[in-house]
């Protein structure tokens, strides 16, 4: 993760970062078109990032970097990959998390495995820091931002991901046996 400290500035607008509001930063360098390289491993205001014309290309490249290195770690395993999200699981304590990386923003939601199904059923307020402006300029959540549930029940994608987690990590289905 980019080093962020008091006095850090946003690489997009050049203004000082307030460390309380949401910011976006990536980890390390990854393959992006040449002019975007200077934005790797640097912090930026979330509001600047959301409106940045290169956000979609930059975010997708960042998530693709995580996709490309997934097989190199013994801890995280892929359970879902499509054009919207890359979902991995680390079942090992003390981490024991699901990571949901979104191609539209590069955001990474971390959810404890034990909280996964409850997280899917929570209201969409958990996605507040991941809203993007649509072409009209109004904030809205992407259809599957965070694998959001619809009308209180899990959608098909969330059910499929949950099923894959259970298949790959059967001991998680019965915590007493783990």
Residue 106 lies in a domain: yes
Is 178 domain-assigned? no
Q: Residue 9 pairs with which residues in a beta bridge? A: 16
Quick one: DSSP state of residue 154?
-
Tell me if 63 is assigned to some domain.
no
The pLDDT of residue 172 is 55
What's the helix, strand, coil split of the chain in %, to 5?
35, 20, 45
Which positions ≥6 away from 76 have C-beta within 8 Å?
70, 88, 89, 90, 99
Q: Give domain status of residue 142, yes or no.
A: yes
User: Are 49 and 130 in a shared domain?
Assistant: no
Long-range contacts of 4-13 (CB under 8 A, 24+ apart): 4/43, 8/43, 9/43, 10/43, 10/44, 10/45, 10/48, 11/38, 11/39, 11/42, 11/43, 11/44, 12/39, 12/44, 12/45, 12/48, 12/49, 12/52, 13/44, 13/45, 13/48
Place of tokens 């205001």: 45
Same domain, 88 and 145: yes
Asked if residue 103 belongs to a domain, the reply is yes
| Shared domain check, 110 and 140 | yes
User: Are 37 and 111 contained in the same domain?
Assistant: no
What is the rounded distance in angstroms from the CA atom of residue 63 to the CA atom of residue 108? 9
Are 167 and 115 part of one and the same domain?
Answer: yes
Q: For position 63, what pLDDT does the model report?
A: 94
pLDDT in tens, the chain (178 residues): 677 888 899 999 999 998 777 888 888 888 898 899 999 999 999 889 988 999 999 999 999 999 999 989 889 989 888 888 898 999 889 999 989 888 888 988 888 888 887 777 665 544 433 433 333 333 333 333 333 433 233 355 666 777 777 777 765 554 443 4
Q: What pLDDT is recorded for position 143? A: 35
Q: Both 20 and 93 in a single domain?
A: no
* Per-residue confidence (pLDDT) for residue 175, from 0 to 100: 46
Question: Is the distance from CB of 59 to CB of 36 less than 8 angstroms?
Answer: no
The reply to whether 49 and 76 lie within a common domain is no
Same domain, 35 and 122: no
* CA dihedral sign, ordered 122, 127, 132, 133: positive
Is 58 inside a domain boundary?
no
| pLDDT value at residue 102 | 87
Residue 156's pLDDT is what?
A: 54
pLDDT, residue 141, reads 37
pLDDT of residue 22: 81
Asked if 80 and 163 sit in the same domain, the reply is yes
If asked whether residues 76 and 40 sit together in one domain, one would say no
Regarding whether 162 and 80 lie in a shared domain, the answer is: yes
Please state the pTM of the whole predicted model. 0.75
In a domain, 84, yes or no: yes
> Is 81 among the domain residues?
yes
Number of domains the chain contains = 2
Domain that holds residue 94: 72-173
For residues 81 and 9, membership in a common domain is answered with no
Nearest Cα residue to 47 out of 133, 119, 171 = 133
pLDDT at 61: 95
pLDDT at 2: 73
């Amino acid at each position: 993760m980019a080093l962020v400290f008091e006095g850090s500035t946003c690489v997009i607008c050049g203004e000082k970062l307030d460390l309380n509001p949401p910011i976006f930063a990536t980890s390390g360098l990854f393959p992006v078109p040449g002019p975007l390289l200077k934005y790797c491993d640097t912090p930026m205001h979330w509001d600047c990032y959301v409106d940045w014309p290169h956000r979609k290309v930059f975010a997708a490249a960042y998530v693709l970097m995580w996709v490309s290195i997934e097989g190199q770690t013994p801890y995280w395993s892929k359970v879902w990959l499509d054009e919207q999200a890359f979902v991995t699981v680390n079942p090992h304590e003390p981490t024991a998390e699901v990571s949901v990386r979104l191609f539209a923003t590069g955001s990474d939601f971390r959810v404890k495995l034990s909280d996964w199904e409850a997280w899917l059923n929570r209201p969409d307020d958990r996605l507040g820091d991941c809203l993007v402006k649509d072409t009209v300029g109004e904030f809205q959540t992407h259809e599957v931002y965070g694998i959001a549930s619809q009308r209180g029940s899990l959608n098909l994608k969330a059910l499929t991901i949950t099923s894959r987690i259970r298949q790959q990590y059967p001991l998680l289905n019965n915590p007493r046996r783990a």
